[in-house]
Amino acid sequence: MALRVSHEWLPLSSEDPAEVATWGTLRLELDDPQVVLTEAEDLRAQTVCQDVAGALLPLADWLARKWLLLFRSPRICLASGSRAERYSWERSHCLRFVGDGTALPDLCFEPAGRDAIRLRWRSDGGEPERPLRFLLSSNSATLLRGKVEVPLAALVDGVLARLRLRAPGAPALVSLDDSWVRARSAAHADHQPARLAAFAGLDWSLLEETQRDTWRARGGKASLLFEQALAALPPNEPVHADSLASALTQAAGLAELGTSWDALRKRVGRAQSGLPWEVGWDCAHRLRRAMGKDHDEPFSPPSLEPVATSFDIETAVAVVDGREPVRFVADPSKDNRFKRARDVWPVLFGEHSAGTAWGSVFSRRSDADFSVARAFSAELLAPIAGIKRRIAGAADEDDIPWLAHELGGAPEGCVRHQLENHKLLVAP
Amino acid sequence: MTTGSPNALYEGSAIHKRYSFDDKNPDLRAGKFECPPDIGYGDAQRVLCEGINGSLHNGWRSARGSSWPEYVWGRSVFPTRAGEQREVTWEARLTNAGNGSYKAYPCTRDRHSDHMPSDVEEALWPSE
């Protein structure tokens, strides 16, 4: 099944050259089986028409501005969302928000996985000010993305070509051309920022300049992770925000721990109050128990090995109400096991609630939390019970490399801190 | 727009009308929202000029555009030809950025430009 988009230019008398240049008829239809989406009753003429007449520029403009949201963002409209959220989605996915006072069928483009688009249309009750009433009954059809994208792109290309030919000085041409190139060409300076904004559900054309600057700053660090997350989405199924966050988590390499993070959080319980390092040690013991790990062997959770390296993704996840933790490191070359383990702590024990956007950037946290997390990390990687079992009451500096080796290659700094904090380090 | 800015103008569009106005013939197109024929053009022009400028002042406008915003929305009461009052929610679209001319046509909660910010949408059609 494919979407067919056909148009024919018609003459119009108007003072607006862009409107004159792009006035025509439009037919939208599906083949196999054929469904004419633009079939309507002309209430004044009492006839049935297959095409709608109007300037095609507003539709082309809307398509160009929404392109990334329509075809490069997996967000769908959640019935449970707020009115503002639903409106934000609908005005970027439903033709009835093209504007310009033109009647178009109530047709929505709904992402249905990585490679599919669901076209969903609703019957038309008619409105007194609109002389057309569309005749379709409510229904939907799922098509391969390309079968929708290609004909709509051809329509935008056609409108652009027409404007260049008939209204080369029209400001609308500049605007449409810029939107279209930005949406389709990675060479456009704002392509990547606009993609990231679209991923977060935001329409670039509706952002204030200061907001755009923010996305430009983020988009400068375009992330492979972003592409990986999209590629990991199911090809033919709707993607909810939870799945999206999960895909990002997976793409970041945060493999499942054999249980969900929420379940694991429940199993470890809440951190107790106390001195920061004591809280950190206690949290490490809780995690070990929850994971069935020995109390005296080093434990480096495999889930924390790879990381996301771009703050773009963090923001995207946060805005797309991500509910799974993703770890971000600005400079991967400075990342290490200690930091990876340290960043587990806020995920499991930090103050948050279900549905809260995640992020584990420590600079946002208090010094006290930072101390707890460091102690937590040290106790995971170099458990004091394991150290005590290997030494005769105390250790000196010369023992540290050997202990680190014995503890599975634990960072020597961790071993030293553990010895110091437990008052087991003596001068040689 | 700030105090002291020139006023925006309303200039009717024939493709939304079934009646003659300003020496223009009607050219209502089937796919277009129709300006209510029971409201005379002079009254429409007066009320919409006032309404568009009021909405510009209130911020019921699109963000896009460096001088005049591309879209403005509002709800106004118009006198009808029969001497009654009629409330219409309208969307105005910029047609001449040089002098701030707008055309306007009725709009509904379900059908208007995507440029309408969510706070304007909520203000025009409050949640029940």
What's the rounded Cα separation, in Å, for the pair A128 and A114? 40
Q: Which of A38-42, A103-107, A293-297 has the lowest mean pLDDT?
A: A293-297
CA-nearest residue to A93 within chain B is B114
ipTM above 0.90, yes or no: no
Tell me the CA end-to-end span of chain A in Å, nearest whole number. Answer: 79
Instruction: Tell me the pLDDT band of A387, cut-offs 50, 70 and 90.
Output: very high
10-residue mean pLDDT series, chain B (128 residues): 68 82 80 85 94 94 80 95 93 89 91 92 88
The predicted pLDDT at position A171 comes to: 86
Q: How far apart are CA A405 and CA A333, in angstroms?
A: 23
Given a cut of 50, is residue A40 above it in pLDDT?
yes
Q: In what order do the strands lie in the sheet with A139-144?
A: A107-111, A116-121, A139-144
Please give the C-alpha separations between residue B78 and each of A376, A424, B8, B109, in angstroms, as whole numbers.
70, 87, 19, 19
Q: Is B91 on the interface with A (CB under 8 A)?
A: yes
Any chain B CB within 8 A of the CB of A88? yes
Q: Enumerate the domain spans of chain A.
A: 3-192, 241-381
Reported residue count of chain A is 428
- Name which of B30, B114, B127 is nearest A97 (Cβ-Cβ): B114
pLDDT of residue B6: 73
- Please state which of the ranges A89-103, A298-312, A399-413, B39-53 shows the lowest mean pLDDT: A298-312
Q: Is the pLDDT of residue A179 over 90?
A: yes
High-pLDDT (> 70) share of chain A, % = 75
Q: What is the DSSP string of A108-163?
A: EEEE-SSSEEEEEE-----BTTBSEEE-PPSEEEEEEHHHHHHHHHHHHHHHHHHH
CB-CB contact of A21 with A170 (8 Å): yes
Model confidence at A367, pLDDT cuts 50, 70, 90, reads low
A165 in B contact zone (CB under 8 Å): no
Q: Is the pLDDT of residue A203 over 70?
A: yes
* Tens-place pLDDT, residues A280-338: 999 999 988 887 788 888 776 544 433 444 434 444 443 333 334 445 555 667 777 88
Confidence label for A364 from pLDDT (cuts 50, 70 and 90): very low
Out of B29, B36, B93, the one facing A54 most closely (by C-beta) is B29
Distance from CA of A62 to the nearest CA of B (A): 8
- The one-letter amino acid at A396: D
Q: Does A75 have pLDDT greater than 60?
A: yes
Of A205-209, A224-228, A251-255, B79-83, give the range with the top mean pLDDT: B79-83
What is the distance between the alpha carbons of residues A349 and A369, in angstroms, rounded to a whole number? 10
Q: Tell me the C-alpha distance between A372 and B8, whole Å.
A: 61
pLDDT at A126: 75
Rounded to a whole number, what is the distance in Å from the CA of A374 to chain B's nearest CA? 44
* pLDDT tens digit sequence for A58-74: 999 999 999 999 987 76
From the CA of A174, how many Å to the nearest CA of chain B? Answer: 13
Name residue, tokens 């041409």: A173
Residue that wins the pLDDT comparison between A369 and A65? A65
- What is the average pLDDT score of chain A? 78
- In the prediction, which pLDDT does B77 show? 96
Of B31, B93, B127, the CB nearest to A52: B31
- Band of pLDDT at residue A111, cut at 50, 70 and 90: confident
Residues 201-240 of A with CB under 8 A from B: 203, 205-208
Helix (H) or strand (E) segment spanning residue A230: helix A224-232
CB contact under 8 A, A206 and B115: yes
For residue A220, name the pLDDT band (cuts at 50, 70, 90): very low
pLDDT higher than 90, residue A158:
yes
A105 in Cβ contact with A95 (< 8 Å): yes
Q: Residue A402's pLDDT band (boundaries 50, 70, 90)?
A: very high
Per-residue pLDDT, A114 = 63
Pairing mode, strands A35-36 and A139-144: unpaired
pLDDT for residue A227 = 57
At A200 the pLDDT is 67
A191-199 helix and A209-219 helix, angle to the nearest 10 degrees: 100
pLDDT of residue A316: 45
Report the predicted TM-score, pTM, of the whole model to 2 decimal places. 0.67
Say if CB B48 and CB B93 are below 8 A apart: no
Measured CA to CA, the distance from residue A70 to residue A241 in angstroms comes to: 16
* A272 Cα to chain B: minimum distance (Å): 44
Alpha carbon distances (Å) from B115 to A48, A77, A114: 31, 19, 27
Domain ranges of chain B: 9-124
Bridge partners, A36 (sequence order): A29
